[in-house]
A and B are shown apart, each in its own frame.
Chain A
Amino acid sequence: MHEMSIAQSILDIIQQEMDKNNLTKLIQVKVKHGRLTNTVPEALSMAFECLTVQTPMASAIFELEEIPSRYQCTKCQHEFSPEDPARLFVPCPSCGEEFGHTVLAGRELYIEYIEAQ
């Protein structure tokens, strides 16, 4: 449900960037989203589509790329990503510590680039 708000924020930023560069037609936008944000790619694509109908952004390609989660173990400092990407939080594969790993990656949600004319 909150994908609508996210899609609207994406549109606002795209519009600002297009205005800044005197561009009027969006061709493509690429968004990267961390595994640890509650972003549902299908819902976000759908929201983008709904919000751009009959606008100059309507036919643009909306590309999403997930950034896997990455942690550092608080006990042995080992850096790791869960082997099973479906699991968000796992014990350290090196020493087995379960608690309190530092999140190094996975909380990102940003627009990497736009392509426009």
Chain B
Amino acid sequence: MKVSVIRNVLEANDRLANELKEHLTRRGILSLNLMSSPGAGKTSLLERTLTDLKGEFKMAVIEGDLQTDNDARRVAATGAQAVQINTEGGCHLNSSMVMEALKQLDLDGLDILFIENVGNLVCPAEFDVGEDFKITLLSVTEGDDKPEKYPVMFSLSTAMILNKVDLLPYVNFNMERAANFGKALNKDIAVLPVSCQTGEGLDGWYDWLRTARAGKKA
């Protein structure tokens, strides 16, 4: 017997992601899914952001890694709430992991929830985790053609953060080329060059965050 199915393979994850998003929206919390390859600087960006905007927003972090709670400890050192998820080999976070982690957070008065995904430029793009926006980080040491080589993640992202711009004099990375690859995939993508080391460009990222946060409140 042939049964016509026509069901989205990821429907279970998508359903949970929608529930999560509604749950966070009811509380007026902006939720951001931070993705990049390992070592691009997601945790460093969070450390700076959590420290610099401490007086302005109440923020919390869900950290995803295969092993260790190193990152949760790093961001918790800023005073923010942090929960670590260990995927034990899993290459991405999914909605049920985030839902479980969320139970450990005090959401009262929270303005922004950062979900730092597993370092991986491929798989996390496929799995929504209840975020308002996906943000992809790319560090200049990785090469300016990454958006072209790994298009799916960039095409779904609202912002592309180009990190480690303090190293530009030492690497062969063309900012305009990277930005154009990103814009070809997604013409409205915000391109935000920053250095978490020197602090250069972070104001642009903070302004982006303020606008996103204001949009969520209204």
A residues sitting closer than 8 Å to B (CB atoms) are 1-2, 5-6, 9-10, 12-13, 17, 21, 23, 31, 36-38, 74, 88-89, 98-100, 103, 109-117
Contact = CB atoms under 8 A, between A and B. Distances in A.
Give me the 6 closest cross-chain CB pairs, A-B, nearest first: A100-B187, A2-B123, A1-B91, A99-B187, A111-B5, A109-B9
A42 B1 CA distance: 27
B152 A36 contact: yes
B9 A110 contact: yes
Given A109-B126, A112-B5, A113-B6, 4 more contacts: A98-B180, A110-B5, A110-B8, A111-B9
A100 B127 CA distance: 22
A89 B151 contact: yes
B3 A115 contact: yes
A31 B6 CA distance: 9
Interface of B: 1-13, 90-92, 94, 122-123, 125-127, 148, 151-152, 155, 180, 183-188
A73 to B, nearest CB: 11
B3 A116 contact: yes
Given A38-B125, A38-B126, A115-B3, A109 B152 contact: no
A21 B91 CA distance: 34
Contacts of A1: 91, 123
Nearest to A13: B7
From B5, B152, B180, B186, residue with most partner A Cβ within 10 Å: B5
A103 B6 CA distance: 20
18 contacts: A2-B126, A6-B10, A9-B11, A13-B7, A13-B9, A23-B1, A31-B9, A38-B125, A38-B126, A89-B155, A89-B184, A98-B180, A100-B186, A109-B9, A109-B126, A110-B8, A113-B2, A113-B3
B183 A9 contact: no
Contacts of A36: 151-152, 155
B126 A9 contact: no
Contacts of B6: 110-113
